[in-house]
Structure formats: C-alpha cells, structure tokens
Amino acid sequence: MSAAQLLPGINQQKVKTNRLDMAYLLSGAGNIPIVLVHGNCSSSLFFQDFMLALAGTGRYQVYAPDMRGYGDSETLPVDATRGMRDYSDDLYSLVQALGLSSFHLLGWSLGGNIVMQYAIDHPETLRSLTLQAPSSPFGFGGTKGAEGTPVWPDFAGSGGGTVNPDFVQRIAQGDRGNEQNSPRTVLNTFYFKPPFRAPADREEIYLTGLLSTKVTPGNYPGDMTPSNNWPGVAPGRQGVNNALSPKYMNQADFANIDPKVPVLWLRGANDQIVSDTSFFDLGFLGQLGAVPDWPGAEVYPPQPMVTQTRTVLSLYQANGGQYREVVLPDCGHSPHIEKLGTVYELVHSFLLSSDERYE
C-alpha cells in the first residue's frame, strides 16, 4: 500500500502475531476500541471514511485489519475445512497482540461471518457485535429453506468453482479498466447500488483494496471438485470461497453463545450480493436462465440468505440475546460507504447504548 492510499488521520501499522504478520489501519485517540473486519475481494481501505467518522467523536480507537490473503497482511493459505476458524483465530491473535481485552466488533460481508465465528469462539471479549450485510450463517450457496438445508450431499453450487474465472483472472492481472468483468465494473454494479458512484479518488482507493485480493490456490477463490450434481462444481478444501461453503461453515451455534452481546444487523434494501435473490447465487441465476439446465425451484431454489440470517438471530433472541435489524433503503452491499452518515449515526448510537453496561 502506498501512502497515497491513506486519508489524513489514518495510519497503517503492522504487528507480528503468533499466527501471521498482520497489517491494520488505525485512527482515533479514544479509550474504547472498535475493530472493523472487511469482506471478500476488499481490504481495510474500504473503511477509511467510516473510521474517521467514528474517530471524530473522540471516544473510539478504531482498528481495521487486513485479513490473511488481503491487503498488506501475510498471504497464508486458508484451510477451508475449518470454515471461518482460520480467520477467527487470526483475529484473536491480533487483538491479543494489541492488548485488546474488551472491544466492539463490526464485520462486513465475509467479515460478518468472520466476526460471528469470533463471537462463537470468544464472546467474553466483546462489548457489541455489528453485522453489516453478512453472508448467511449457513454458508454462501448450496442450501435452501430458512434452516439452511443442503440441496445436495456434496454441497454442489458452492465454493471456489462458482466464481467467474474471468473476474478472478482480472484481479490477478491488476485490471483497472471498465470492461464487463473488470473489478471496477463489478465494484460499481454490485458493491454499490447504481447509480451511486464514489468520488474518483475514493473509487481508486476502493479498487486498489479490491485488487489486493491474493489470487492463489490457497486464498481466492479456492479450489473446486467436479460434481455430478447441478451445476457441476462442488467445494474444494482450500481458499476463502470454500471456507464460505455450507460444507464447512455452519454458524447456527451463534444462537447459543454466552455471554450474549448486543447485535446490530445492517443491510441495504437493494443488496445484489447478499439477499434472497442474489446475483451471485447459482440457484437464483439458474431461475433467471443465466445458468443452463437448472433443475427447478423444488430441487434447487434461490438461497434465502437474509431469511436464514434472521432465523439464527431470532433463535439468539429467543435464547436471551438482543438484536436489531435495520434495512437501509436505496442502498446496496456497502452501507458504510453508500449511506455513511446514516450508518455512522446508527452504529455510534448502538455503541453508546452497548457501553452503558460497562459504565
């Protein structure tokens, strides 16, 4: 990362944890820590304006790490058979190295599943949990129904083989163009709800963060296994998209964590990546006719991602937890960018109310 990618008031630091070398952004001089975890095909660079908004209160010290295989952190392979646990263990090693014993935690997209796993593993360290556009607790692709029932025994339709190979190649090549599968086009079409477009300088920063994704066999998108079940690809054993597969990731246990921390769930009403009609879900694409030989809605319906998340959070609430769902109108997959002021107010208010337990 060059210094030109950092906004005034943001510093990058690096630390060697007991698992890997991690880079993170830091802002704010407050005494209450909050950690922000980015999503897939992104990095800490996507959080800078949101970090500055939180830091401006004088209340928070804001950390945004690059997870393994992204940004400037060490590129180590992801053992997909552990689901989100490689990432959760990395996050724990980071907060231990930084001396953070009690903190707020926010995760966006893939980061939402990382922080849910962290909450399952280390709930006693958390002051609150914010989930922004998280993937389903039952994985991305390959399930149906509110309870996350597997479509096929081999979870075909999920994992590393479901990603557009042209998009993957363009990331590897550092493509900054405007063609259909160029990262810039995907950013402006799917990360945000058109016609929203970030200012030119921010767009270049976000594109740099997206292109920091490490295309390696053990990272993005991961390997695949041929399948006799539609759509012909099943999960492999390495890489981030396999770690998101329901073959390895099931976070239903989130409903049982103890102690229970307050949860805020934020999502855009027009999210095309994580929704009950996701343009990245092969079940929905098959229904649209974009993937041939779809076996039909009775066999392979679109995955109800939002409904599945609500199912787990409702069980969490039934078990004594608290959660609030906020749907932001005219907003896509990146509320903290598209609706910065609104999301800042929502999160700051939520953190204040959560901190009342500690004051």
pLDDT at 1: 62
Residue with tokens 């005219």: 330
Q: Roughly what angle, to the nearest 10 degrees, separates helices 48-55 and 340-355?
A: 50
pLDDT at 357: 78
pLDDT at 256: 98
- Per-residue pLDDT reduced to its tens digit, 251-279: 999 999 999 999 999 999 999 999 999 99
- Confidence grade of residue 356 (pLDDT, cut at 50, 70, 90): confident
pLDDT at 20: 98
**Percent of the chain with pLDDT strictly greater than 70:** 99
Beta strands of the chain (E only): which ranges?
11-16, 21-27, 32-37, 60-65, 103-108, 126-132, 143-144, 149-150, 224-226, 233-235, 263-268, 323-328
pLDDT of 292 over the 80 cut = yes
CA 309 to the chain's CA centroid: 13
pLDDT at 4: 73
pLDDT of 107 over the 90 cut = yes
- What average pLDDT does range 3-26 have in this prediction? 95
pLDDT at 165: 96
| Tokens encoding 284 | 């929905």
pLDDT at 2: 63
- What average pLDDT does range 283-292 have in this prediction? 96
| Tokens encoding 238 | 């390495």
pLDDT of 359 over the 70 cut = no
Give ∠ CA 262-242-270 in degrees, rounded to 5: 55
Give the alpha-carbon dihedral of 209, 215, 221, 224, to 10 degrees: 180
Nearest to 236 by CA among 244, 228, 197: 244
Task: List phi, psi (to 5°) of 152.
Answer: -125, 155
The answer to whether the Cα torsion of 169, 170, 171, 173 is positive or negative is positive
What mean pLDDT, rounded, does the chain reach? 97
- Confidence grade of residue 3 (pLDDT, cut at 50, 70, 90): low
- Confidence grade of residue 15 (pLDDT, cut at 50, 70, 90): very high
pLDDT of 234 over the 70 cut = yes
- Per-residue pLDDT reduced to its tens digit, 332-342: 999 999 999 99
Question: What does each C-alpha distance from 83 to 159, 287, 337, 355 come to in angstroms?
Answer: 11, 28, 28, 31
Nearest to 210 by CA among 164, 246, 175, 159: 175
Domains of the chain: residue spans and CATH: 3-355 (3.40.50.1820)
pLDDT at 22: 98
- Per-residue pLDDT reduced to its tens digit, 208-230: 999 999 999 899 999 999 999 99
Task: List phi, psi (to 5°) of 329.
Answer: -70, 155
CA 184 to the chain's CA centroid: 19
125 vs 122: CA distance, rounded Å: 6
